[in-house]
């Protein structure tokens, strides 16, 4: 069990992190979502032990982690951090980079381990290639394999797939997060990718202005988003008066996702004018306007700009 409690942290007079408290059990995956500058990377560096935490405590299996001021080499031995600055050796091969963290006591075991991790990060054909000749995304995958070489108990990932193209990203995420689950490795990943957080996390820590906004299971957070900030990570969400979309007197604003709205043949309280249509593959995202508010909804085809439509809650 990794337990994090940060009362406050600041580089200067400005507080960067405040009132952050959560736990992660063995084999669990927590994704940290938040805007740029919300403190995601700083939080990972504090957990790993690269930054001193004066006001707060971090425990691992009931043992307090002392941080960089009390250790000869910063960073906890049972953890690995894959940061946005790759810790790799450009003039060594991919295999040599991965093998640099192995014991080298048994050459056959080391080779098997290297081959296993090359498969996980989909770099088998680049085993003997010098890292300096790789693309940014390939280097990021080398850093991931290198971090996994000694089977850490906790893996910290800072935007781990940011340099990897979508063509490869989807299968790579499935492979890596399946590998972590199969080997009971706890994972905390800072990401901007809400699709990744929803699909692979056991819990999402949503940060806002250096504080915890929500800490929930992905399904709970998605279905109970309380405002535009929370819902905005998952879609072009609408914040509409409740009495416009429900048969109620309440004017309280509620979150409505685009897939929850559809065109109605009958007159409704929500009459919108189409502003634009965006092709999304399986559907079109329609940008429209109701009074002074933008309203987004999904439709099977594009709709003419300037046309008016009634909207209702969709059964889809």
CATH of the domain at 82: 3.40.50.300
Residues 175 and 298 in one domain: no
Residues 201 and 304 in one domain: no
How many percent of the chain have pLDDT more than 90? 77
**pTM for the complete prediction?**
0.90
Expressed as residue numbers, the domain containing 137 is: 2-229
3-state class of 259 per DSSP? helix
Residues 164 and 138 in one domain: yes
Q: Express each pLDDT in 258-312 by its tens digit.
A: 999 999 999 999 999 999 999 999 999 999 999 999 999 999 999 999 999 999 9
Residues 35 and 87 in one domain: yes
Q: Which of 229, 264, 279 delimits the end of a domain?
A: 229
Residues 291 and 203 in one domain: no
pLDDT value at position 138? 92
pLDDT value at position 316? 54
Q: Which of 229, 253, 270 delimits the end of a domain?
A: 229
Q: How confident is the model at residue 315 (pLDDT cuts 50, 70, 90)?
A: low
Q: Smallest Cα–Cα separation from 83: which of 165, 190, 181, 214?
A: 190
CA-angle at 95, arms to 122 and 155, nearest 5° = 65
DSSP state of 130: B
Residues 193 and 245 in one domain: no
Residues 65 and 213 in one domain: yes
Residues 258 and 198 in one domain: no
Q: How confident is the model at residue 17 (pLDDT cuts 50, 70, 90)?
A: very high
Residues 139 and 35 in one domain: yes
Residues 129 and 105 in one domain: yes
Q: Which of 229, 261, 296 delimits the end of a domain?
A: 229
Split into its structural domains, the chain has a count of 2
Q: Smallest Cα–Cα separation from 77: which of 109, 116, 49?
A: 49
Residues 15 and 106 in one domain: yes
3-state class of 75 per DSSP? coil
DSSP structure string for 177-198: HHHHHHTT-EEEEEES-HHHHH
Residue 171's H or E segment, with its range, is helix 166-182
CATH of the domain at 299: 2.40.50.140
Task: Find the mean pLDDT for residues 55-80.
Answer: 88
Residues 9 and 103 in one domain: yes
DSSP state of 113: H
């Amino acid at each position: 069990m990794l337990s994090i409690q940060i009362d406050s942290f600041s580089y200067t007079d400005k507080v960067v992190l405040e009132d952050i408290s959560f736990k992660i059990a063995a084999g669990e995956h927590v994704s940290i979502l938040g805007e740029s500058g919300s403190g995601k990377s700083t939080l990972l560096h504090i957990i790993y032990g690269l930054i001193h935490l004066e006001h707060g405590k971090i425990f691992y299996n009931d043992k307090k982690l002392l941080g960089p001021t009390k250790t000869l080499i910063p960073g906890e031995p049972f953890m690995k951090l894959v940061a946005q600055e790759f810790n790799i050796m450009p003039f060594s091969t991919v295999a040599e980079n991965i093998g640099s963290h192995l014991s080298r006591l048994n050459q056959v075991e080391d080779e098997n381990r290297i081959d296993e991790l090359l498969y996980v990060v989909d770099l088998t054909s680049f085993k003997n290639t010098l890292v300096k000749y790789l693309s940014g995304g390939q280097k990021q995958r080398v850093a991931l394999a290198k971090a996994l070489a000694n089977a850490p108990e906790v893996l910290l990932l800072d935007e781990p797939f940011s340099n990897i193209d979508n063509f490869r990203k989807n299968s790579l995420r499935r492979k890596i997060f399946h590998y972590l689950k199969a080997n009971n490795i706890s994972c905390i990943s800072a990401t901007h990718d809400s699709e990744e957080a929803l699909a692979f996390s056991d819990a999402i820590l949503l940060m806002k202005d250096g504080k915890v906004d929500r800490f929930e299971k992905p399904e709970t957070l998605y279905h109970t988003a309380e405002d535009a900030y929370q819902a905005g990570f998952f879609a072009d969400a609408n914040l509409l008066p409740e009495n416009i979309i429900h048969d109620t007197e309440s004017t309280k604003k509620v979150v409505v996702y685009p897939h929850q709205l559809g065109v109605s043949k009958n007159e409704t309280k929500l009459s919108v004018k189409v502003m634009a249509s965006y092709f999304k593959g399986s559907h079109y995202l329609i940008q429209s306007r109701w009074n002074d508010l933008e309203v987004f909804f999904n439709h099977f085809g594009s709709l003419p700009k300037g046309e008016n439509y009634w909207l209702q809650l969709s059964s889809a």
